[in-house]
């Protein structure tokens, strides 16, 4: 008998706001808004995506946009944060860093600032000491102008902090094949100056050269980064710099980056000494949540319980959680492993 992963304390560092939504919540919001969701999203959930080519990504983006179009009120925004926190807590997550680009919600709530402040306020409200804390990563989109990213970075910087309901980091998301990471250096510079964690996506749809470009903005963590495995010297550099890779196996398979969970190079990166924080990315579209990633590590990649605690520890250490959350979680991880299993 092995220990249940949902009681293993951990941090969740890669979860997008809209993508975190419960399927049932999306259905309810769509009904309220009288939005007709794409067939692929409602009839056969989770949808088949395979986005490694442009057409596949377009399909993913279309479904994502359809889901986002249902989020048109402060109430809906608060509900997403609240449910993400509840779902994370139920999976043993002690600390969630939810990633949001407030741009799409801004028109519905009176602008960028209120859009972000609603998310921050709800994150603070749902955080319960000893149970779950929620901080926020502001993410700019690669598909928009780098000046837009700077605007977002300035907004993020004004709300920078190190506790629940604060902006903790600044990211860059969306189609990696568009907008080179270096072009966003201006935004990252603003974020760095404010003390925010630098957490761009990279090395998901593109290979090692894209990860090398990402290193130019001096990331603390990289969203995905899995394809750095194609260049061992690059992996060594990531290890040397102590960068945490936010590895999301369910997402990689959902998007066709790898054909099967076994092909996700989790074991290789772990053996190379890379710091790894497992994440769910977009449960709404991939149909798998945080604990499913730990289950994949266990059942597909043969991680034993001690190795699972390594993953959990690295997720806490790679987070921006306050000191007391970290020490509580780390102690809880040791207790989890010390607990005898029924034989
Ligand atoms: Zn992501």
Task: Give 141-175 pLDDT, tens digit per residue.
Answer: 999 999 999 999 999 999 999 999 999 999 999 88
Residue 80 has pLDDT above 80, yes or no: yes
Residue 126 in contact with residue 161, Cβ under 8 Å? Answer: no
**Per-residue confidence band for 63, with pLDDT thresholds at 50, 70 and 90:** confident
User: By three-state DSSP, how is residue 177 classified?
Assistant: coil
Strand ranges across the sheet with 221-224:
201-202, 221-224, 244-247, 275-278
Task: Give 232-256 pLDDT, tens digit per residue.
Answer: 999 999 999 999 999 999 999 988 8
pLDDT of residue 50: 65
Taking the C-alpha atoms of residue 70 and residue 163, their distance in angstroms, rounded to an integer, is: 29
User: What pTM did the predictor assign?
Assistant: 0.96
Residue 1 has pLDDT above 70, yes or no: no
Task: Give 204-223 pLDDT, tens digit per residue.
Answer: 989 999 999 999 999 999 99
Instruction: Measure 223 CA to ligand 1 centroid, in angstroms.
Output: 6
Q: What is the residue-averaged pLDDT of the chain?
A: 94
Instruction: Measure 288 CA to ligand 1 centroid, in angstroms.
Output: 14
Instruction: Measure 30 CA to ligand 1 centroid, in angstroms.
Output: 23
Instruction: Measure 171 CA to ligand 1 centroid, in angstroms.
Output: 9
pLDDT of residue 162: 95
**Between the CA of residue 70 and those of 61, 83, 210, 324, what are the distances in Å?**
15, 16, 33, 37
Strand ranges across the sheet with 197-198:
10-16, 93-100, 133-141, 167-173, 197-198
**Is 295 one of the catalytic residues?**
no
Residue 197 has pLDDT above 90, yes or no: yes
Residue 51 has pLDDT above 60, yes or no: no
**Per-residue confidence band for 227, with pLDDT thresholds at 50, 70 and 90:** very high
Q: Which of 204, 307, 335, 339 is catalytic?
A: 204
């Amino acid at each position: 008998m092995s220990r249940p992963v949902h009681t293993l304390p951990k941090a969740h560092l890669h979860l997008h706001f809209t993508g975190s939504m419960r399927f049932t919540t999306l259905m309810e919001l769509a009904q309220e808004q009288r939005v007709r969701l794409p067939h692929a999203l409602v009839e056969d959930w989770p949808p088949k995506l395979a986005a490694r080519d442009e057409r596949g990504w377009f399909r993913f983006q279309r479904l994502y946009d359809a889901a986002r179009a249902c989020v048109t009120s402060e109430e809906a925004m608060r509900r997403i944060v609240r449910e993400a926190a509840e779902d994370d807590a139920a999976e043993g997550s002690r600390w969630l860093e939810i990633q949001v680009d407030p741009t799409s919600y801004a028109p519905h709530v009176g602008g960028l600032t209120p859009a972000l402040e609603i998310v921050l306020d709800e994150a603070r409200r749902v955080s319960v000491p000893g149970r779950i804390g929620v901080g926020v990563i502001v993410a700019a989109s690669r598909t928009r102008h780098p000046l837009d990213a700077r605007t977002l970075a300035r907004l993020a910087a004004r709300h920078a902090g190190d506790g629940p309901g604060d902006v903790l980091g600044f990211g860059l998301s969306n189609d990696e094949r568009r907008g080179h990471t270096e072009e966003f250096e201006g935004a990252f510079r603003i974020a760095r100056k404010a003390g925010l964690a630098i957490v761009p996506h990279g090395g998901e749809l593109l290979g090692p050269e894209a990860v090398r470009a990402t290193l130019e903005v001096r990331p603390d963590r990289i969203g995905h980064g899995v394809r750095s495995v194609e260049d061992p010297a690059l992996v060594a550099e990531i290890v040397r710099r102590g960068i945490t890779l936010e590895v999301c196996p369910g997402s990689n398979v959902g998007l066709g980056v790898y054909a099967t969970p076994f092909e996700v190079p989790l074991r290789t990166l772990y053996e190379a000494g890379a710091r790894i924080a497992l994440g769910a990315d977009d449960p709404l579209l991939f149909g798998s949540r945080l604990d499913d990633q730990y289950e994949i590590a266990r059942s597909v990649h043969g991680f034993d319980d001690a190795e699972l605690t390594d993953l959990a520890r690295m997720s806490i250490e790679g987070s921006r959680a306050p000191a007391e959350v970290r020490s509580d979680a780390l102690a809880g991880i040791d207790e989890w492993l010390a607990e005898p299993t029924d034989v």
